[in-house]
Amino acid sequence: MEYDEIKKGLRNLSESLDSLKAELGKQNAILKIIANYPKHNKELQIDFNKYVNKNLVILHDDVNYAMNIAKEIAKISNQNIKYMNYNNYSDNAAILTSLNENDYVFINYNCLDLNCKQLVVNAIKENAISFIVGEGQGVKDMSLKIKSMHYIIYSDMIEMLPKLPDDFEIIQ
């Protein structure tokens, strides 16, 4: 009798496993479709020429989507583009000073700390990089003019961004 119960239990378990396996197969098929679906299909619908030579804010949940838009706009306008994707004040200041007139700088605003955010805001609003030289009583605030460039700022939420000049267009 125990043998029959064990056999019946194993058959039920086998059927459950087969059912689970079939369900997992369906879910994997759906995941494969999602994974192979062009993630940036909206990008193909954007009229990049509309955004050439403009300051932009790109609001999206995927930074790669925003970077692809920025790269395409820079390519169409035949300008260089540099990316500020990490939190290092001196490296980001070097990026801002190395660009030529009308080049593009892509700023991943989500990854910047307060000092780097202030660097960006000063660059946008004053067309300069502000910094402090010295210590104690000999401390001096200095400013270095930078060339005029086009800013493409990425954020996943508009609430994270500072008040920007009115010439920024928003892409969502």
What is the predicted pLDDT for the residue at 106? 96
Give the mean pLDDT of 35-42: 51
- Tell me the mean pLDDT in the region 62-85: 92
> What pLDDT is stored for residue 23 in this prediction?
78
- Report if pTM > 0.85: no
pLDDT at 47: 83
For β-strands 150-155 and 104-108, DSSP reports them as: parallel
User: In this predicted model, what pLDDT tens digit does every residue of 85-110 receive, in sequence order?
Assistant: 888 888 999 999 999 999 999 999 99
Q: What is the pLDDT of residue 32?
A: 64
pLDDT beyond 50 at 40: no
β 168-171/55-59 pair status = parallel
Q: Is 105 exposed, middle or buried (0-12, 13-18, 19+ CB in 10 A)?
A: buried
Name the band, by pLDDT with cuts 50, 70 and 90, for residue 35. Answer: low
- Residue-wise pLDDT for 101-151, tens only, equals 999 999 999 999 999 999 999 999 999 988 788 888 888 888 889 999 999
**Cα separation values, 134 from 18, 37, 117, Å:** 72, 54, 22
Indicate the average pLDDT of the chain.
85
